[in-house]
Amino acid sequence: MKPWFTIDQIDEKTHIISEYRHWEETHCYLLEGNDRALLIDTGLGICDISEEVKTLTDKPVTAVATHIHWDHIGGHRYYSDFYAHEAELNWLAGEFPLNMQTIRGMVVDRCELPQGYDVGTYQFFQGTPTRVLHDGDVIDLGGREITALHTPGHSPGHMCFWEAATGYLFTGDLVYKDTLFAYYPSTDPQAYLKSLERIAALPVRRVFPAHHTLDIQPEILARMRDAFRALDAEGKLHHGSGTFDYGDWAVWL
């Protein structure tokens, strides 16, 4: 059986840690600075991501999630130092809108689980962050600065992480190739458009999504923005209007 985690290298100090054995194909990103490292998203929590991280850096690691959904904070329990956006602190304190039975069902859905894994032990991470992030906050790793951009739409406190020096944009669940989810009650299609407007204006050189294929180019940012603009102009940018397919991506409203 193939390993749970797959490691890819972006550059000397940036790695991708992926979970291809689950249908969501979640990607986490390890960014190393001179003083410390930042782990953007910690995955499903089915296997111990910290063991993989230790093979890639010996620097202290801070975890941060693009948003507080179960498949992005599963490994947070391994990191006492973690950051979160102010708009989703309640989800870290017992107010997440899905129950454990539902979450556990999604953990095992279309997943090649490790032998002997007991999903009944799966817990939704809860905790108090060491730093509360706001739009525009800078995370200094020592010779490497990452800016947190508040990009709501998929969730109230969703963040993209922007590294101006490299042109790297880590998009979380705001942008990826497959069906974008904007139909949950906690999503906001109009906010989604505003977030796409914002990131499409950045001088992005590389896009790094939280799910599915890594073969994704910055041009998709403008395509998604334009599609959302068109849906808005047609009066369709609201919950319940349906699923709209654009070839290499779609959006479920």
pLDDT tens track for 86-114:
999 999 999 999 999 999 999 999 999 99
Cβ atoms within 10 A of the Cβ of 120, count? 7
Distance between CA 22 and CA 44 in Å, rounded?
A: 9
Mean pLDDT of 60-79: 98
**Contacts (Cβ under 8 Å, ≥6 apart) of 77:** 45, 125, 127
**Contacts (Cβ under 8 Å, ≥6 apart) of 51:** none
Does any domain span residue 48? yes
Question: How far is C-alpha 248 from the chain's CA centre?
Answer: 19
Instruction: State which amino acid sits at residue 86.
Output: E
Does any domain span residue 247? no
Distance between CA 214 and CA 117 in Å, rounded?
A: 28
DSSP state of 211: B
* The pLDDT of residue 203: 98
Distance between CA 185 and CA 211 in Å, rounded?
A: 21
Does any domain span residue 92? yes
Distance between CA 152 and CA 175 in Å, rounded?
A: 12
Q: Reply yes or no on whether the pLDDT at 79 is more than 90.
A: yes
Distance between CA 146 and CA 168 in Å, rounded?
A: 9
- β partners of residue 138: 147
Does any domain span residue 79? yes
Does any domain span residue 225? no
Beta strands, E only, 137-192: 138-140, 145-150, 159-163, 168-172, 179-181
Does any domain span residue 241? no
Does any domain span residue 246? no
Residue 85: domain span:
6-174+202-217
Does any domain span residue 13? yes
Distance between CA 114 and CA 103 in Å, rounded?
A: 18
**Which tens digits make up the pLDDT trace of 153-191?**
999 999 999 999 999 999 999 999 999 999 999 999 999
Length of the chain: 253
* The pLDDT of residue 2: 87
Distance between CA 231 and CA 236 in Å, rounded?
A: 5
Domain count, the chain: 1
Q: Looking at residue 64, which CATH number applies to its domain?
A: 3.60.15.10
- β partners of residue 22: 111
